[in-house]
């Protein structure tokens, strides 16, 4: 009688190798928490996974950009509030019947406005438009305003274009109005008041006479218009803050969805992986014993 063990041994070897591979895969999933170590292991879901990862990268980029823009808008809001209060204080100062301290109050309002105008976010001037490396107004004193040629507006260094930011795939918004747009009118009022004070009908010192009173009344109208321009810009800034907050809510919700989608696609079921590892280890042991037994099969017991 002839006994052949080649086919049986080959089958046992294949079973052993299959069990070892399953044990390795299960152990790798437990170690990494992922279903596979490369895209090839995800088979038909690989394309979906790559698309989801790309979408999440773009979403995270928008979240980071919008968070930075939200911080900048908060800084701008503080600057607008300071300018608005300075313009309001200037208007109040111009209603006085005693000019003794008037120019001191005008100077204080100018200094507050200039400080707010020079607000920076990071290393960039927020009111300089596209030119972020230079202060938006080339003036430090009321005298500098008076020396402006041909007028005050020539002292503004901001570019005419506004900075812009992309907040999602389809939407780009401008980040802020420029200095000349916001306080051009207010700076002209400062300059006119300083010129009048230095002119033949000045200075403002003591009781306000009729000529001075007529000038101040006319200038109050201009300051109110400048105050309203600043408040319009501040309201626009507030609307952008609300828009960015809504955009962040949307992006974060999308990011959460993509995170869950990617996890569903690539994260391993740890309990299932542990169970498969136990089963695979048992299969390895059984297959190894079977293969070992078949490898030792001999005709000698049958020939004795």
pLDDT by residue for the chain (304 residues), tens digit each?
344 555 555 565 565 566 555 555 545 554 555 656 555 655 667 788 889 989 999 999 999 999 999 999 999 999 999 999 999 999 999 999 999 999 999 999 999 999 999 999 999 999 999 988 899 999 999 999 999 989 999 999 999 999 999 999 999 999 999 999 999 999 999 999 999 999 999 999 999 999 999 999 999 999 999 999 999 999 999 999 999 999 999 999 999 999 999 888 776 645 654 565 556 556 555 555 555 555 555 544 544 5
In Å, what is the CA distance from 263 to each residue of 48, 59, 259? 12, 16, 6
Q: Is 172 left (phi over 0), alpha (psi -120 to 50) or beta?
A: beta
pLDDT of residue 1: 38
pLDDT of residue 132: 87
pLDDT of residue 120: 96
pLDDT of residue 280: 55
Is 187 in contact with 179 (CB distance < 8 Å)? no
Kindly write down the DSSP assignment for every residue of the chain, as one continuous string. Answer: -----HHHHHHHHHHHHHHHHHHHHHHHHHHHSBS-SSGGGGGGGHHHHHHHHHHHHHHHHHHHHHHHHHHHHHHHHHHHHHHHHHHHHHHHHTT-SB-TTHHHHHHHHHHHHHHHHT-EETTEETTSTT--SS-SBS-SSHHHHHT-SS-GGGGB-S-SSPPEEE-SSS-EEE----HHHHHHHHHHHHHHHHHHHHSTT----SB--HHHHHHHHHHHHHHHHHHHHHHHHHHHHHHHHHHHHHHHHHHHHHHHHHHHHHHHHHB--HHHHHHHHHHHHHHHHHHHHHHHHHHT--SHHHH-
- Going by C-alpha positions, the residue among 88, 93, 132, 107 that lies closest to residue 230 is 88
pLDDT of residue 158: 95
CA distance 69 to 60: 14
CA distance 151 to 157: 13
- Going by C-alpha positions, the residue among 183, 190, 180 that lies closest to residue 105 is 190
pLDDT of residue 174: 94
The domain segmentation of the chain, as residue ranges, is 6-33+268-303, 48-263
CA distance 249 to 190: 43
pLDDT of residue 270: 53
> What are the structure tokens assigned to 12, written together?
């046992």
Please give the class, per CATH, of domain 48-263: mainly alpha
pLDDT of residue 269: 47
Q: What is the pLDDT of residues 253-286, one digit of tens each?
A: 999 999 999 888 776 645 654 565 556 556 555 5
Q: What is the pLDDT of residues 144-164, one digit of tens each?
A: 999 998 999 999 999 999 999
> What are the structure tokens assigned to 40, written together?
């090839």
């Amino acid at each position: 009688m002839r006994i052949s063990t080649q086919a049986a041994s080959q089958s046992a070897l294949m079973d052993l190798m299959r069990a070892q591979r399953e044990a390795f895969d299960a152990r790798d999933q437990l170690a990494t928490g992922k279903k596979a170590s490369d895209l090839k292991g995800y088979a038909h879901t690989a394309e979906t996974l790559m698309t989801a990862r790309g979408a999440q990268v773009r979403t995270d980029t928008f979240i980071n950009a919008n968070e930075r823009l939200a911080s900048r808008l908060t800084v701008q809001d503080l600057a607008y509030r300071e300018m608005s209060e300075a313009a309001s204080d200037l208007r109040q100062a111009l209603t006085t019947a005693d000019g003794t301290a008037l120019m001191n109050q005008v100077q204080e309002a100018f200094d507050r406005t200039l400080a707010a105008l020079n607000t920076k976010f990071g290393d960039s001037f927020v009111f300089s438009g596209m030119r972020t490396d230079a202060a938006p107004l080339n003036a430090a004193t009321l005298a500098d305003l008076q020396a402006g040629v041909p007028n005050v507006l020539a002292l503004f260094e901001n570019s005419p274009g506004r900075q812009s930011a992309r907040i999602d795939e389809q939407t780009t918004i401008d980040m802020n109005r420029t200095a000349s747009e916001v306080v051009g009118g207010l700076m002209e009022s400062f300059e006119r008041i300083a010129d009048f004070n230095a002119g033949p009908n000045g200075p403002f010192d003591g009781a306000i006479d009729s000529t001075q009173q007529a000038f101040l009344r006319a200038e109050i109208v201009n300051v109110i218009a400048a105050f309203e321009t600043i408040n319009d810009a501040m309201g626009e800034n507030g609307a952008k803050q609300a828009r960015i907050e809504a955009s962040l809510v949307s992006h974060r919700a999308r990011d959460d969805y993509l995170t869950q989608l990617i996890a569903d696609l690539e994260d391993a079921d740890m309990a299932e992986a542990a169970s498969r590892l136990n089963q695979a280890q048992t299969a390895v042991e059984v297959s190894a014993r079977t293969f070992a037994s078949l490898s030792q099969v001999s005709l000698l017991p049958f020939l004795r």
